[in-house]
């Protein structure tokens, strides 16, 4: 009995230590979530302004042509998948990876029909384990990533579309709704065929040097890369929200386990005391 009581006591201590860890991780994720959310919101006006400028050029220039604005026959598809480097974030990674894997299996018969770019160690390991070739990868992003941190993969994804390596490019990431809700989405990034005529309100009268086409050559890749960066920031906010929720649930579960084990421990100790008293009384009676 004493051995059983000691084992229960060790389990209670273990759960208490785990609870302290999960509670600390929940608080850290909550503090990082606010900064990540602010960064994601701050990036949106910049992307919106570039879109307005590009849309105004497309609307005001007849016959403008650029590979990123033109739809073509789909022979090969690119996917840029955004995940995290670490786990302990609930279904954050599993949901987005399941979505992209199901999409690949439904649309494609062989690896020659698609190309995968990945941000995050979890996504990289997931695709490697399934022998899915990765064109470009970025891992080890900081909690507050800058554009320079993802420039290589963003530029490679856009450049490969421009040179015809594939005919469309999708972003697959977790869209941030709020601290407890993130939605895995698949968003077609390229071609930007929805820009022409999409300028909101009155079209601004810009003067371009050297030409509208020359400006588009520079702005369109920048715009696409900005959308990728915005998705990365949303992914970071989603990651911290999912981790905060997961660690909060783990803390509550640990509290319940500690409570249940404490009840079991008290009952076992009470039973042991009762048994000892019974043995003492029985011994005394046998001597009288």
**Domain presence at residue 275:** no
Confidence band for 123, pLDDT divided at 50, 70 and 90: very high
CB 173 within 8 Å of CB 234: yes
**Average pLDDT over the chain, rounded to whole?**
87
**Domain presence at residue 15:** no
**Domain presence at residue 191:** yes
User: What one-character-per-residue DSSP string does 49-96 give?
Assistant: HHHHHHHHHHHHSTT---GGG-----S-EEEEEE--SS--STTHHHHH
**Mean pLDDT for the stretch of residues 188-206:** 66
**Domain presence at residue 169:** yes
Which tokens in the block code for residue 197? 């005529």
Residue 198 has pLDDT above 90, yes or no: no
d(CA 4, CA 231): 52
CB 263 within 8 Å of CB 107: no
**Residue 206: predicted pLDDT:** 65
**Residue 147: predicted pLDDT:** 92
Compute the residue count for the chain: 288
Q: What is the β-pairing status of strands 168-178 and 77-82? A: parallel
Give 139-190 pLDDT, tens digit per residue: 999 999 999 999 999 999 999 999 999 999 999 999 998 888 899 999 999 9
CA 207 to chain centre: 40
Residue 72 has pLDDT above 90, yes or no: no
Confidence band for 288, pLDDT divided at 50, 70 and 90: low
d(CA 222, CA 158): 9
d(CA 77, CA 71): 13
Where in the chain does DSSP place strands (E)? 77-82, 114-119, 134-138, 168-178, 181-190
d(CA 215, CA 223): 12
Total domains in the chain come to 1
For residues 172-186, one letter each, b for 16 or more C-beta atoms within 10 angstroms of the residue's C-beta and e for the rest, the string is bbbbbeebeebebee
**Domain presence at residue 162:** yes
Radius of gyration of the CA atoms of the chain, in A: 28
Confidence band for 1, pLDDT divided at 50, 70 and 90: low
Residue 115 has pLDDT above 90, yes or no: yes
**Residue 129: predicted pLDDT:** 96
Give 227-285 pLDDT, tens digit per residue: 999 999 999 999 999 999 999 999 999 999 999 999 999 988 888 888 888 877 777 77
CB 57 within 8 Å of CB 208: yes
**Residue 21: predicted pLDDT:** 95
**Residue 85: predicted pLDDT:** 95
d(CA 247, CA 235): 18
**Domain presence at residue 75:** yes
**Domain presence at residue 3:** no
User: At 84, which CATH number?
Assistant: 3.40.1380.10
Q: Residue 205: helix, strand or coil by DSSP? A: coil
**Residue 205: predicted pLDDT:** 65
For residues 202-240, one letter each, b for 16 or more C-beta atoms within 10 angstroms of the residue's C-beta and e for the rest, the string is eeeeeeeeeebeebbeebbbebbbbbbbbbbbbbbbbbb
**Residue 51: predicted pLDDT:** 79
**Residue 80: predicted pLDDT:** 97
Residue 212 has pLDDT above 90, yes or no: no
**Residue 176, domain extent:** 27-245
CB 174 within 8 Å of CB 185: yes
**Residue 130: predicted pLDDT:** 94
d(CA 47, CA 208): 20
Better-predicted residue by pLDDT, 92 or 203: 92
Better-predicted residue by pLDDT, 69 or 109: 109
Which tokens in the block code for residue 199? 């300028």
Q: What is the pTM of this model?
A: 0.85
**Residue 252: predicted pLDDT:** 95
**Domain presence at residue 188:** yes
């Amino acid at each position: 009995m004493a051995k059983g009581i000691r084992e229960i006591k060790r389990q209670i201590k273990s759960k208490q230590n785990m609870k302290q860890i999960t509670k600390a991780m929940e608080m850290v994720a909550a503090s990082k979530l606010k900064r990540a959310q602010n960064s994601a919101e701050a990036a949106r006006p910049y992307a919106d302004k570039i879109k307005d400028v590009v849309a105004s050029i497309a609307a005001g220039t007849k016959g403008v042509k650029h590979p990123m604005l033109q739809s073509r026959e789909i022979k090969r598809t690119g996917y840029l998948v955004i995940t995290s480097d670490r786990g302990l974030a609930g279904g954050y990674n599993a949901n987005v990876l399941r979505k992209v894997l199901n999409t690949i299996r439904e649309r494609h018969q062989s690896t020659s029909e698609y190309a995968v770019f990945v941000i995050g160690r979890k996504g990289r390991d997931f695709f490697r384990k399934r022998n899915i070739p990765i064109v470009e990868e970025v891992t080890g992003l900081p909690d507050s990533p800058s554009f320079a941190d993802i420039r290589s993969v963003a530029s490679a994804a856009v450049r490969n579309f421009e040179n015809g390596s594939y005919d469309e490019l999708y972003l697959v990431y977790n869209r941030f709704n709020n601290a407890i809700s993130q939605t895995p989405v698949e968003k077609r990034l390229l071609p930007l065929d929805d820009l022409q005529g999409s300028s909101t309100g009155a079209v601004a009268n810009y003067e371009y040097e050297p030409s509208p086409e020359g400006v588009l050559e520079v702005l369109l890749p920048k715009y696409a890369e900005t959308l990728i960066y915005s998705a990365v920031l949303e992914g970071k906010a989603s990651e911290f929200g999912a981790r905060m929720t997961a660690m909060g649930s783990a803390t509550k579960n640990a509290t319940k386990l500690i409570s249940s084990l404490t009840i079991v421990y008290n009952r076992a100790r009470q039973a042991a005391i009762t048994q000892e008293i019974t043995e003492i009384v029985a011994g005394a009676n046998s001597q009288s």
